Amino acid sequence: MSQINLEPLKDPQRFLDQQVLSETEIDAAIAAVVAKVKHNIVKLGETFPSSSTVNNAYVTTKNVEWTTGFWTGILWLCYEVTGDDHFRHLAEKNVVSFKARIDQEIDVDHHDLGFLYSPSCVSAYKLTGNPVAKAAALEAADKLMTRYNPKGQFIQAWGAQGSADNYRLIVDAMLNIPLLFWASEETGDEKYRDVATKHYATTLKYAIRDDASAFHTFYFDPVTGAPLGGKTRQGYSDDSSWARGQAWLIYGIALNYTRLRDDSDLPTYEAVTNYFLNRVPADMVSYWDLIFGDQDWQSKDSSATAIAVCGMQQMQRFIAADDPLHDVYAHAAAGMLRSLIRNYTEAETTGITALLNHGVYSWHSGRGVDEGNLWGDYFFLEALVRYKKDWQMYW
Ligand code: GLY
């Protein structure tokens, strides 16, 4: 990104026409989620749901892959809104599993330690002071630090550390670096914050195109650290914007601004958010890549919308009330969340059911296409909880 093209909103009135969400709507949506989570707990026991559904039902899995922390996060959110110890006790058992996972280094050689440990263990520590959760999350932060490449100044997403074929960042890591900020806050050691800040700056510099759309991934030269170019993995093409990637940027900038209050990020936030909103289709829920519109008959990615809503809710408090965007963004977020509630939540199985239907995990590999997924479920519930109360975030 050499210079941001701040695309104005094409039709702000369309968003202003969306009603704000009533307490009744939020309460009913949360009650429906809690009922489904109770139903799922009976089916899951102490196992975890798979990353995405198959024919609309999750299958059970061990604590592996990058998504299990979202299940534990859902349990913590349910505990917060109900006060029901049933959720807390299961979440605490999950915490023990997450401690074992990092101690035994089970499927942790990647950058997704924030996705795993913020909603499962930082949450547990913040809500209950659980020392095992704190220790697990700090170990995960230390592990994440090992993914940092000084040449290029970024956290490497996947693959053997330093390997040329994987010498790249991905925008998803915007939600992994909050674990590092938290680790500095807890330990007083600035090294975590330093790496997070460098990775963040590199992401903003290279993973956002001049038109404010997102590259999914961006490569660097492993010898010199020089920027090489952007490529997609989960988006439609190298020069399109994967909807979830754009949403990870919206939420990531909001989270970073919350901590660092760097006002130079404000136009960047506005640019990436407007790019997303200008491509929101008629029912307010994005297609899996922002290149698609209603004429293309593609799948929606409900999870991208849920993530964007959370990011917009987080950033809303920093936008001045007399800024015209304040109300436009507030109504846009409400309209998107209402559409998720009304159109994307019907239980479609008697098995382990998604809280949010019609997401896309990976279109190219055919995995989780037009299915529910755990992160969509988590961010949907997080968005609802953000409307319900003054939520102390897990990120
Ligand atoms: N972080 C992986 C994904 O969003 O699919």
Measured distance CA(32)–CA(235) in Å, rounded: 32
Compute the mean pLDDT over every residue in the chain, rounded to the nearest whole number.
97
In a domain, 244, yes or no: yes
| Average pLDDT value for residue range 47-73 | 98
| Ligand 1 binding pocket includes 172 (Cβ within 6 Å) | yes
Sign, Cα dihedral of 233, 237, 238, 244:
negative
Asked if residues 217 and 170 have their Cβ atoms less than 8 Å apart, the reply is yes
Q: Is 194 one of the annotated active-site residues of the chain? A: no
In a domain, 394, yes or no: no
Minimal CA–CA distance to 132: which of 92, 104, 84?
92
Minimal CA–CA distance to 140: which of 187, 100, 179, 175?
179
Torsion of CA 75, 79, 82, 87, to 10 degrees: 60
Q: Looking at ligand 1, which residue's alpha carbon is closest to its atom 1?
A: 172
Measured distance CA(61)–CA(51) in Å, rounded: 9
- 265-277 and 243-260 helices cross at what angle (nearest 10)? 150
Look up the pTM and report it. 0.98
| Ligand 1 binding pocket includes 110 (Cβ within 6 Å) | no
Q: Look at the block and give the residue holding tokens 């994967």.
A: 242
| Average pLDDT value for residue range 30-39 | 98
In a domain, 41, yes or no: yes
Q: How many residues does the chain have?
A: 395
Asked if residues 252 and 171 have their Cβ atoms less than 8 Å apart, the reply is yes
pLDDT of residue 125: 98
CATH number at residue 273: 1.50.10.10
pLDDT of residue 4: 79
In a domain, 185, yes or no: yes
Measured distance CA(230)–CA(190) in Å, rounded: 30
Give the percent of the chain with pLDDT over 90. Answer: 98
Measured in Å, residue 172 CA sits from the centre of ligand 1 at: 6
Measured distance CA(131)–CA(361) in Å, rounded: 34
Minimal CA–CA distance to 378: which of 27, 49, 28?
49
Q: Which helix (H) or strand (E) holds 160?
A: none
Structure tokens at 386: 């953000």
CA 22, chain centre distance (Å): 25
**Closest ligand 1 atom number to CA of residue 112:** 1
Which structural domain range is residue 70 located in?
12-388
- Where residue 161 falls among pLDDT bands split at 50, 70, 90? very high
In a domain, 237, yes or no: yes
Helix (H, G, I), strand (E, B), or coil: what is residue 14?
A: helix
| Ligand 1 binding pocket includes 111 (Cβ within 6 Å) | no
pLDDT of residue 106: 98
Sign, Cα dihedral of 113, 145, 156, 306:
positive
- Where residue 1 falls among pLDDT bands split at 50, 70, 90? low
- Where residue 5 falls among pLDDT bands split at 50, 70, 90? confident
Give the percent of the chain with pLDDT over 70. Answer: 99
In a domain, 236, yes or no: yes
pLDDT of residue 2: 54
- CB-side exposure of 277: number of CA atoms within 13 Å? 31
Total domain count for the chain? 1
Q: Is 107 one of the annotated active-site residues of the chain? A: no
| Ligand 1 binding pocket includes 244 (Cβ within 6 Å) | yes
In a domain, 195, yes or no: yes
Query: pLDDT, tens digit, for every residue of 165-216?
Result: 999 999 999 999 999 999 999 999 999 999 999 999 999 999 999 999 999 9
Measured in Å, residue 67 CA sits from the centre of ligand 1 at: 9
Asked if residues 119 and 69 have their Cβ atoms less than 8 Å apart, the reply is yes
Measured in Å, residue 83 CA sits from the centre of ligand 1 at: 30
In a domain, 26, yes or no: yes
